Amino acid sequence: MARGAVIIFGVRILVFLLSSLLSLAQSIEVKELKFRFDGEPLARPGESVAIQVQVWGDSIAKDGTRTSGRLREAATAKTAEGSGWVSKPFRFQGADSGGFVNSGGSGFAQIFESVSGQFVLKDAVLYTAPLQAGTYTIEAEAKGIKGNTQITVADDAASRKAVEKNEFPAAADLNRYRKLAEYWAPFVAQETWWQPKADIPVRFDFDGDWNGDNNWDNLDAGSSQAYVHYAAVETKSHWFLHYNFFHPRDYSDNCIAGTCHENDNEGIILTVRKDGGEFGVLELMESLAHNNIYSYTNDTRLRNGVHDIDGKIDFHDGHHPMVYLEAGGHGALAVGAQHSTFSAAKKDFTSGTGVTLVYTGTAERAKHGNDRNVGYELISIEETWWPRAKQATNERSFDAPYEYQPFGNRPGGGQRYMGSFWGRKQGVNKAKPFWGWHDERTRRAKVLNTGQWALDPAYSVTKNITFPAAMPVDLDYVYNPFLGAVPGTANILPVPGTGTCQLEAVIDGSVIVAIRGETAIYEVLNGQAEKDSSIGCNGVIPVGPFAEFEIRKSKGRGSLKILEAPNAANSFTAKVQIDDPARGADRYVLVVRWKM
């Protein structure tokens, strides 16, 4: 998430000054545009090819002397409707001999050529073919001079895509807040650029393993099925819903000074007030973009706090907040934000290409880099990332442990968290799960420390934004496993690698109980549905391997049979069968214990 913004800003100032000096000494006259493909001008339907548009003409010195050749100038490319799409421009990634006639010489001119060749000249676009075969035209223009080229789209063209090695089937999600997360699941407007597959939000194990140190390399062969990771915490007045957008790469067309890195994870937090209804009412959406929080309101009574209100929330289909994710760096903003390139009214990207994603409960693949309404699946952070982050494993999923020290005398101080995803490519440990996020402004002001915005959202939202007296925010958690607040337990973290859950239910007949994470689902085989069921854990049942795993009955007259122990094949879900053959119902208490 670190972007090296200060360095880039300084370089851009230097480029601007040098460019201004050169403009006083020479002018240019464009005469011709030349197109250069990354390979043959041939593509399969829906696949992409990079095109460099070179500008040729005359450089005219102050004394009128003309030098003909290639100019340091970028053209604007476009396609006709139905002819495919072009991305926003980028610096051509292939070998380029340069040889610009309007930047030669010595002194400032040589410096300008060196610097601007890396940071300024974006003379390439990614062309994405339509799904229908045919011959299509790409047009370009520079200084009033136009040119065009053609590309053939054929079903029998050699594929430019790597074969994906992973396919993730639908899986049961037992999280207690799943239904709420589905209702408010965001509409995602994901801009795409010259690596469109790197811009699709996926699951952390998209490549079939939990090693964060190979995600950059495994991008092409890993699954592009769309996922959004979620979590939820609760107070008496509110639900706070986290949506995290994970990408295997944070990339740029200039990877310098940590501007690119393996893994990327930015996201939003929704503040949803309980109003007596099933899903409550959304009051605020906060987003994270490169260690900066932005706030968008759905209630005009909210006022500025430490942060300003940056705009309003746009909705898709009535209740799904619309979120814009930039290409490459994946910072999250509202679609109406100043730097968003997505038009909510037109449902289109003004910068070039992008993919829109909607919650359907099915993890679909985008057909190409400018697809629309691609379905995504939700995946619980509490049952996937969190168990691994709490356990010492050899999977290289998480790294950079830190001690949580919240400001404001808030709970959880002294707990240790794994503050980043494990990553070594381009930069070291640059991407962070939400408990490692921080906001530059509030951390400098000693209002919210590292991790506090997302770990303690009830407190942080009252600092970032001012709520009127008529809209109180309760600060005590009914449920927040990330700070240790879990009902039915002593709220004390267990000895590392061990834990206990206790299940209670009134049973009349036979049931199968599926236990995963810290959730239990009952399936009635015969008799009546269970009643008064509850589960309390002092930790989330982790993903193995286990040294010990035990389920025993401490109360209940019938029998208990263990059907399945948790393992990788059943997504670490234990299954037991309770048979109560006697007339009437009885209360059962099960105790689950584990040791890693």
Separation between Cα atoms, residue 567 and residue 541, nearest integer Å: 11
Q: What is the pLDDT along the chain (596 residues), one digit of tens a residue?
A: 443 444 444 445 554 555 554 444 579 999 999 999 999 999 999 999 999 999 999 999 999 999 999 999 999 999 999 999 999 999 999 888 888 998 643 334 444 444 444 446 999 999 999 999 999 999 999 999 999 999 999 999 999 999 999 999 999 998 999 999 999 999 999 999 999 999 999 999 999 999 999 999 999 999 999 999 999 999 999 999 999 999 999 999 988 876 899 999 999 999 999 999 999 999 999 999 999 999 999 999 999 999 999 999 999 999 999 999 999 999 999 999 999 999 999 999 999 999 999 999 999 999 999 999 999 999 999 999 999 998 756 689 999 999 999 999 999 998 999 999 999 998 899 999 999 999 999 999 999 999 999 999 999 999 999 999 999 999 999 999 999 876 644 343 444 567 788 889 999 999 999 998 878 999 999 999 998 888 888 777 877 778 788 999 988 999 999 999 888 788 889 999 999 999 899 989 898 988 87
- 119's CB contacts (< 8 A; 6+ apart) are 8, 11, 12, 15, 254
Rounded CA-CA distance 503/509 in Å is 17
Residue for token pair 């950079």: 400
Alpha-carbon torsion (89, 91, 95, 100), positive or negative: positive
Amino acid at 589: V
Nearest alpha carbon to residue 484 among 411, 435, 381, 541 = 411
What is the total residue count of the chain? 596
Structural domain boundaries in the chain: 5-153, 179-381+452-466, 498-595
3-state secondary structure of 105: coil
Q: Is residue 520 within 8 Å of 507, Cβ to Cβ?
A: no
The residues with which 538 forms a beta bridge, in sequence order, are none
Q: Give CA torsion, residues 12, 16, 17, 22, to 10 deg.
A: 140
Confidence (pTM): 0.78
Task: Read off the tokens for 548.
Answer: 């010990």
Tell me the fold of 5-153.
Immunoglobulin-like (2.60.40)
